[in-house]
Amino acid sequence: MLNFSQERYLKVTEGALSLRSQIEQAADEISKKGFKNIFLLGSGGSIAIMYPFEYMLNSLSTIPSYAEIASEFMLQNHKQFTKESLVILSSLSGTTEETVAAAEYCKQHGVTSIGLVGEMGTPLAGLVDYPIANYAENDFAADSINLQMYMLVFRLIHNHGEFEQYETFIDQLQTIPEQLIKVKELTDPKAADFAARYKNEDYHMLVGSGTAWGRTYAYAMCVLEEMQWIRTKSIHAAEFFHGTIELVEEDLSMILLKCEDETRPLMERVERFAEKYTKKLSIFDTADYPLDGISQEFRKYLAPLVLATALQRVSIHLEKQRGHSLETRRYYRTVAY
Amino acid sequence: MLNFSQERYLKVTEGALSLRSQIEQAADEISKKGFKNIFLLGSGGSIAIMYPFEYMLNSLSTIPSYAEIASEFMLQNHKQFTKESLVILSSLSGTTEETVAAAEYCKQHGVTSIGLVGEMGTPLAGLVDYPIANYAENDFAADSINLQMYMLVFRLIHNHGEFEQYETFIDQLQTIPEQLIKVKELTDPKAADFAARYKNEDYHMLVGSGTAWGRTYAYAMCVLEEMQWIRTKSIHAAEFFHGTIELVEEDLSMILLKCEDETRPLMERVERFAEKYTKKLSIFDTADYPLDGISQEFRKYLAPLVLATALQRVSIHLEKQRGHSLETRRYYRTVAY
């Protein structure tokens, strides 16, 4: 596959999975000590990764959970945030300004924090109570963090007596790296087609729901907008019919990110509409991938991971077809703001 | 002012305020009975109205609060939702499909619900435990619902021992209708200018934060997209720098909705950036309006109301300048979906 190093990918994903005992030990220690609620903090790509886990926590567990944008959270004086809270943050570089500030804020408030980082010795790693490190570069960052989040969040839920299938789920996850490569291979021709067909499109509407919403929001903002300078609207499937629908015309590009959780009917409704009213409809659906070794009951949790890995192929092909490097920025780390 | 009936506006806003004793009685009864958390449910414009109240609840009160998109909420099996929850819904027509379904869902689960509606005798009014009715048409709906929400939500917080200034705040609110007309009058020339200058713009980026985020999201989706068929991106000020920023060029229209809460510095940062990099910058700021009779300490809560009423003038002038009725739809109530 174009611009894909299987060796590097396996190193990142297997590296994340190899943290299992470290993550479980941290989670068990935290569960034993006790906590009242979980705050998932981040900005941009890193808060987008948290949204599906907030959804899963709310669906599976009575632990109250709040995914909050880090810099707003620090200003608003959130009353559920107490010394009995648990905070989870992530930053690949370990230097993201708002995330580091949020970790400092937690420390000042005496709140237990876990930080998922690319390497130890970074500012975030130095500030949190439980730093967990797995080296990754930007292209595979979501895969690395997602894998760690499954182990961390589901272990905490399990310890709370609410997900007894934990061992089976995480055992099955050990073989996912090979399956994710298959996801990439299966997506690749479709991604190449998409990029060739839509390379000149100046706007895409992205629709998702449930566990796929975070990736929908992130792919629009962190890839199409940030890395390709293409305008987007990301809209939740349940919200689409309340306004954004009126933009649809037969030459408007719609990208649907479908998953297999309870919210699938919301996406099917959007799909039925889109099939009728636009000729530019693209669908990426977790149900299209076999994911051998993963039980049916666990598939619905994997949308964030599967969609991130699949869409990464779209990014690679857009880069090539559009002659626009995924690394080029007008502003970020180019000008001060 | 163009297309503005002062008489009708006063009838709607004073009608909402006249519900004070009914709302307080309902809130007091509910507080006395006790509840564990609040779910604010809605879709499109009606969930957007809830977001600032979720923010204010989280900033002011230890009552856990969750603003959720109605149709996703009903599918996801939210574990914080129990018989001890309190649900608040609104639907002007009292017939919005998802809102009525959510009220039915609450009833089935034996959960106390409050419904803000345009008139009694509608399906929503018939389903909720506490129907509260104030007649309004679409153009002043947000003002009507917002006013009721202040009384309802702040009374519940007050009853929880966390907002002792309640009586003063709501007493002061009694004179707000005249002040809101002044807001409209002060905005009107600017709105006319905006519409004349940007009538041919095919895309706007809207940025907001804190108590202004709900209106930012709603104005983009429910007015510019739904009523004017103009593409938009609504982005939170704290998220803007994490991707969407890269779209900014000197001919890209940015609309900043500023409020006076703790998150104002986030908007100021976006503003400093926008001033440098686009020539098409429009700012609507609650701080520009005198709001006589409202104490400084309460101004920050009023952003949802003030911005909704101010931006309504923009809608009116866009309609005129673009020759595109605010009532025309391609799909909604035109085709089945």
My answer on whether B33 and B150 are in the same domain is yes
Token pair, residue B320, equals: 């005129």
Q: How many domains is chain B partitioned into structurally? A: 2
User: Where does a domain end: A150, A173, A196?
Assistant: A173
According to the model, what pLDDT value does residue A318 have?
Answer: 98
My answer on whether A156 and A210 are in the same domain is no
Look at B225 and A209 and tell me if their CB atoms are within 8 Å: no
**Contact present, B121 and B74 (Cβ < 8 Å):** no
Look at A222 and B235 and tell me if their CB atoms are within 8 Å: no
Token pair, residue A337, equals: 């703001």
User: Where does a domain end: A146, A173, A200?
Assistant: A173
> In chain B, which residues have their Cβ closer than 8 Å to the Cβ of A265?
75
Which alpha helices (H) appear in chain A, and where do they start and end? 6-17, 20-33, 45-60, 70-76, 97-108, 123-127, 141-159, 166-173, 176-198, 213-218, 237-240, 264-277, 296-299, 303-322
My answer on whether A154 and A197 are in the same domain is no
Look at B239 and A221 and tell me if their CB atoms are within 8 Å: yes
Look at B72 and A277 and tell me if their CB atoms are within 8 Å: no
My answer on whether A164 and A195 are in the same domain is no
My answer on whether B219 and B296 are in the same domain is yes
Q: How far is B199 from chain A (nearest CA, A)?
A: 17
My answer on whether B217 and B111 are in the same domain is no
Q: How far is B78 from chain A (nearest CA, A)?
A: 5
Q: Which of A54, A57, A235, A337 to mutate to test the interface with B (most CBs of B within 10 A)?
A: A337
My answer on whether A313 and A245 are in the same domain is yes
Nearest CB to A44 within list B59, B76, B239? B239
Look at A44 and B225 and tell me if their CB atoms are within 8 Å: no
- Whether residue A337 lies inside any domain: the answer is no
Nearest CB to A243 within list B225, B235, B269? B225
Find the closest chain B residue to A82 by CA distance.
B62
- Whether residue B335 lies inside any domain: the answer is no
- Residues B257, B222, A262: CA angle, nearest 5 degrees: 110
According to the model, what pLDDT value does residue A4 have?
Answer: 97
According to the model, what pLDDT value does residue A258 have?
Answer: 98
Local confidence pLDDT in tens for the 337 residues of chain B: 999 999 999 999 999 999 999 999 999 999 999 999 999 999 999 999 999 999 999 999 999 999 999 999 999 999 999 999 999 999 988 998 999 999 999 999 999 999 999 999 999 999 999 999 999 988 999 999 999 999 999 999 999 999 999 999 999 999 999 999 999 999 999 999 999 999 999 999 999 999 999 999 999 999 999 999 999 999 999 999 999 999 999 999 999 999 999 999 999 999 999 999 999 999 999 999 999 999 999 999 999 999 999 999 999 999 999 999 999 999 998 999 8
| CA dist A278 → A237, A272, B332 (Å) | 16, 11, 16
My answer on whether B83 and B44 are in the same domain is yes
Range of the domain at A152: 6-173
The CA distance from B102 to B88, in Å, is 10
User: Where does a domain end: A173, A192, A227?
Assistant: A173
According to the model, what pLDDT value does residue B259 have?
Answer: 98
My answer on whether B167 and B197 are in the same domain is no
The CA distance from A255 to A216, in Å, is 9
Residues written for chain A: 337
- Whether residue A232 lies inside any domain: the answer is yes
Q: How far is A138 from chain B (nearest CA, A)?
A: 14
Nearest CB to A246 within list B80, B239, B331? B331
User: Does the interface predicted TM-score (ipTM) exceed 0.95?
Assistant: yes
My answer on whether B21 and B155 are in the same domain is yes
**Contact present, A76 and A105 (Cβ < 8 Å):** no
**Contact present, B217 and B234 (Cβ < 8 Å):** yes
- Whether residue A332 lies inside any domain: the answer is no
Q: How far is B80 from chain A (nearest CA, A)?
A: 6
Which among A95, A101, A104, A52 has a CA at the least distance from the CA of A72?
A: A101
> In chain A, which residues have their Cβ closer than 8 Å to the Cβ of B301?
none
- Whether residue A30 lies inside any domain: the answer is yes
Which three-class secondary structure state does DSSP give residue A130?
strand
Segment A129-154 shows an average pLDDT of 96
Find the closest chain A residue to B56 by CA distance.
A76
Segment A168-190 shows an average pLDDT of 98
Q: How far is A243 from chain B (nearest CA, A)?
A: 4
Find the closest chain A residue to B61 by CA distance.
A79
Look at B72 and A43 and tell me if their CB atoms are within 8 Å: no
> In chain B, which residues have their Cβ closer than 8 Å to the Cβ of A337?
241, 245, 269, 272-273
According to the model, what pLDDT value does residue B138 have?
Answer: 87
Q: How many beta-carbon contacts under 8 Å exist across A and B? A: 182
Q: How far is A60 from chain B (nearest CA, A)?
A: 7
Q: B137 vs A171, which has greater pLDDT?
A: A171
Task: Kindly report the CATH number assigned to the domain that includes residue B284.
Answer: 3.40.50.10490
Is A138 a residue whose pLDDT tops 90?
Answer: no
- Whether residue A336 lies inside any domain: the answer is no
Look at B75 and A43 and tell me if their CB atoms are within 8 Å: no
- Whether residue A329 lies inside any domain: the answer is no
According to the model, what pLDDT value does residue A204 have?
Answer: 98
- Whether residue A145 lies inside any domain: the answer is yes
My answer on whether A291 and A311 are in the same domain is yes
> In chain B, which residues have their Cβ closer than 8 Å to the Cβ of A70?
238
Look at B232 and A231 and tell me if their CB atoms are within 8 Å: no
Look at A232 and B232 and tell me if their CB atoms are within 8 Å: no
Look at B43 and A69 and tell me if their CB atoms are within 8 Å: no
My answer on whether A19 and A165 are in the same domain is yes
